[in-house]
Amino acid sequence: MRLSLRRLAVFAALWLAACGEEPRVLPLPTPARSDLVVLVAPGPLTYAEGEGGQPTGLEVDLIRAFAADLGVEPRFIPVGAGEIPARLDQGQAHFAAAWYSPDPQTEAPAATAFASSRDVIVQHEASLPLEAPGDLAGRQLHVLAGTRQAQTARRLSETVPGLEVVEYGAGGAVELLEAVAGRRVDRALVDSATLAVALQFVPSIEATLELPQEHPVAWQFGKRFNPELKARSAAFLERARQDGSLARILDRYLGHVRRLKNGDVVRFLERKESVLPRLRRHFLAAQNSSGIDWRLLAALAYHESQWDPEAVSPTGVRGIMMLTEETADHLGVGNRLDPRESIEAGARYLATLRDQLPAAIAEPDRSWMALAAYNLGPGHFNAGRTLARQLRADADSWYELKRILPLLAQPKYYERLKSGRARGGEAVILVENIRSYYDILVRHEPARFLVAETPAPDRKRLSPAAR
């Protein structure tokens, strides 16, 4: 019955819209009445279909949390950003998520902001840089229809002679940036946060000019909306801001994306094509025995050794997973320079570190903490968690812990700990870089490689990609 009532509410609004009648505002969703219906514009920070067809994205996670707060289920309807105003006016959804900023000159204030960003002009890295908006005179500037950047570009065209604003119609934000990288488009105006994420996948573009105004990012309500729902969303976001859950969601998608340089991404992509194919079967075998996503293992191995099975460091760690002699002996590794042995042992070690973490630590933080322990050793890592509790930080949150671990190198902090000094800052850098490498592999390596022939019987499969 509940499902029928939910469908009836949405279908009724769609039927009224099709008949050209004024639809009623969708009622406040309740457990007995309806889902939270949200229009979503696909993009790196809004909505994408993850593996298994499950929606993923920063705004998706935030909406899920809001729906849970209301006690209902979210229902996502993917649409183009340009379609959103009309669909909202037709009562097809409660609100929309499109990394949206209202136009202060023409629109009423939006819902409570949960983030902010700027507009950035991007070009191919080989293009001559722009020093001021006036340099756009007589040139084309591509934008996505229905976005804040489309409004900004049209406003620029009123003051910059000969500036032609072109709406890009062959895809979303990533596709537009790929068109710039492929020189099918000369330049584009995009969102700064979206660009930061996309640079992990499209390295041959460059932010040539960032416009100074900072814009709030919020959910988009139509001209007619449910005032109680809007008030509930504002209260939810305020609580999320105060309890740190909003900061953790933002960090999950944006906390690591500006660390790699363009050259780092280019080299990684090149070695993904030239070196990874020879090693993939070893990572897949290690996934089967450890339950850890092979792409996470591959990202770790790349950071450790650049996928060089014969790598040796000045401190004596060796092999593709850079195992110490003590760790290798403990894991029964006969030859650290054998990539199969090294990868298998590194995966088992990482799985052990993960399994030792308290059950309260959820993914993806569980993966990131296991990686930090892999770098620091469990003694120093647990000392970092102890220090976090002493400083009244959340030791179960990677967002909190990555601010604490660098303190392990400071005498005023490590002198109070049994384990002594540690290079906690290096562990944070390792984890954040691996997160970026992992994101790249998730985007480029198809899910069919994740099928395991003999799943590990006693381990839960680790999937930080399902964020």
Please state, in angstroms and rounded to a whole number, the distance separating the CA atoms of residues 206 and 411: 41
Task: Report residue 363 as tokens.
Answer: 């993914």
Residue type, 137: A
Concatenating the DSSP letter of every residue in 347-412 gives HHHHHHHHHTS-TTPPTTHHHHHHHHHHHH-HHHHHHHHHHHHHTT--TT-HHHHHHHGGGGGSHH
In the beta sheet, which residues pair with residue 217? 115
| DSSP H/E element including 117 | strand 115-117
In the beta sheet, which residues pair with residue 140? 164
> 177 — phi, psi (to 5°)?
-65, -35
In the beta sheet, which residues pair with residue 49? 55
- Is residue 117 within 8 A of residue 241, CB to CB? The reply is no
Please state, in angstroms and rounded to a whole number, the distance separating the CA atoms of residues 72 and 54: 18
Task: Give alpha helix (H) positions in 116-185.
Answer: 148-157, 173-181
Please state, in angstroms and rounded to a whole number, the distance separating the CA atoms of residues 157 and 374: 53
Task: Compute CA distances 15 → 240, 245, 430, whole Å.
Answer: 36, 38, 53
- Is residue 84 within 8 A of residue 93, CB to CB? The reply is no
- Is residue 436 within 8 A of residue 259, CB to CB? The reply is yes
Catalytic center residues: 304
CA angle (339, 202, 198) in 5-degree steps: 100
Concatenating the DSSP letter of every residue in 8-69 gives HHHHHHHHHHHTT--PPPPPPP-TTT--EEEEE--BTTTBEE-GGG-EESHHHHHHHHHHHH
Helix axes 339-355, 365-376, angle to 10 degrees: 120
